[in-house]
Amino acid sequence: MNILRTIPEVRAAVHAARHERKTVGLVPTMGAFHEGHLSLMRRAREQNDLVVVSLFVNPTQFGANEDLGAYPRDEARDAALAEAEGVDILFAPAASEIYPDGFATNIHVAGLTDVLDGAARGPRHFDGVATVVTKLFGIVRPDVAYFGQKDAQQVLVVRRVVRDLDLDVRIEACPIVREADGLAMSSRNVYLDADARAQATALNRALDAAASVCEAGERDADSILSAAQRVLAEAGITPEYLELRDASTLETVTRVENDALLAVAARVGAARLIDNHTLKASA
Ligand code: AMP
């Protein structure tokens, strides 16, 4: 595996692979790898000749009061894990490589970013995501880019950028990887002490409870949400949001007639965690 720091190096490596008619898969990450990240790398490895993983803690997607400074960083460990998955190139640029002096462009996806994490974290979060992902697509020019359904709204935002800007890349969303007790894997789980770690399992249990109610035939959004709310309350968690929205438009739903995204965000101990389930209308 090659660890590359500069855009010209990545372009040259990808250009050489393309010359040999190789397909290129990209996995954008912020590092602190866990099985969720590795599942994306495995999928990319299965489907492509050249696998590029980007490791960049993107400062522009963090709010002023968020955890940019504390975000876990261990490049040597990440590099070993990526190499073990058969990744070809780890692109780990400095911030100045991505945002040189004079950088002035911002990609804003209207509408989709007004709700859920866009509302909770502010519009600049998804602007930061959309802009850096578009840059990574321009640098690597992958055939396929892999994202986790863990960040369901991010997947929708990236798909919309690709559609609206006619980017020639296929977006593949991969399932949420969970710990044995159901907690969605996250780089931020390292912030949880033992008590918070136990409390955090309530997020997935709450989503499961709501999904069971839906599977039993309930279609009313408030009734479905109440089932989740009860589990959170029992665990002493007040969610930042707990919402049921159309799985493709993120419009609010009062009845589950189409696939719906049940999404939660909550502060648990020192971490801000998110999780979601997709409720199938046909279930
Ligand atoms: P991050 O490093 O947190 O920006 O995540 C990089 C990619 O990994 C994103 O596409 C995430 O959605 C994905 N990811 C993070 N956690 C998980 C998980 N538990 N299961 C599946 N994908 C994940």
199-254 pLDDT, tens digit per residue, is: 999 999 999 999 999 999 999 999 999 999 999 999 999 999 999 999 999 999 99
pLDDT of 281: 80
Tokens representing residue 130 in the block: 């959309």
DSSP SS3 for 110: coil
The boundaries of the domain holding residue 212 are: 187-278
- 132 and 153 part of one domain: yes
Length of the chain as a residue count? 283
- 6 and 145 part of one domain: yes
- 9 and 68 part of one domain: yes
Last residue of a domain, one of 120, 145, 174: 174
Active-site pick, 37, 108, 125, 277? 37
Is residue 182 one of the residues assigned to a domain? no
* Residue from 54, 73, 151 whose mutation best tests the ligand 1 pocket (most atoms within 8 A of CB): 151
pLDDT of 282: 75
- 192 and 269 part of one domain: yes
37 has catalytic annotation: yes
User: How far, in Å, is the centroid of ligand 1 from the Cα of 147?
Assistant: 7
- 166 and 206 part of one domain: no
Q: Distance between CA atoms of 1 and 56, rounded to whole angstroms?
A: 17
Helix count (H) and strand count (E) of the chain?
Answer: 9, 9
Mean pLDDT score across all residues of the chain: 98
User: Which 8-state DSSP code applies to residue 257?
Assistant: S
Last residue of a domain, one of 111, 142, 174: 174
Q: How confident is the model at residue 184 (pLDDT cuts 50, 70, 90)?
A: very high
Q: Look at the alpha carbons of 255, 256, 257, 258 in this order and tell me if their dihedral is positive or negative.
A: positive
Is residue 180 one of the residues assigned to a domain? no
Q: How confident is the model at residue 159 (pLDDT cuts 50, 70, 90)?
A: very high
DSSP E strand boundaries for the chain: 2-4, 24-29, 50-55, 89-91, 144-148, 170-174, 241-246, 260-268, 271-279
What residues does ligand 1 touch, defined as CB less than 6 Å away?
29-30, 36-37, 39-40, 147-148, 150-151, 174, 176-177, 184-187
| φ/ψ (deg, to 5) at 203 | -60, -55
| φ/ψ (deg, to 5) at 155 | -60, -45
Taking only the tens place, the pLDDT of each residue in 19-45 is: 999 999 999 999 999 999 999 999 999
Last residue of a domain, one of 121, 141, 174: 174
- pTM here is 0.98
Neighbour-count burial of 228, counting CB atoms closer than 10 A to its CB (0-12 exposed, 13-18 middle, 19+ buried): buried
Distances in Å between the Cα of 143 and the Cα atoms of 103, 168, 205 are 26, 7, 37
* Residue from 147, 169, 178, 273 whose mutation best tests the ligand 1 pocket (most atoms within 8 A of CB): 147
Is residue 242 one of the residues assigned to a domain? yes
Is residue 283 one of the residues assigned to a domain? no
User: How far, in Å, is the centroid of ligand 1 from the Cα of 218?
Assistant: 31
The total domain count for the chain is: 2
Nearest residue to 179 (alpha-carbon basis) of 8, 36, 6, 81? 36
- 164 and 249 part of one domain: no
- 191 and 169 part of one domain: no
Taking only the tens place, the pLDDT of each residue in 38-66 is: 999 999 999 999 999 999 999 999 999 99
160 close to 112: Cβ distance less than 8 angstroms: yes
Tokens representing residue 24 in the block: 């290129």
pLDDT of 283: 57
CATH number of the domain enclosing 6: 3.40.50.620
Mean pLDDT of 132-161: 98
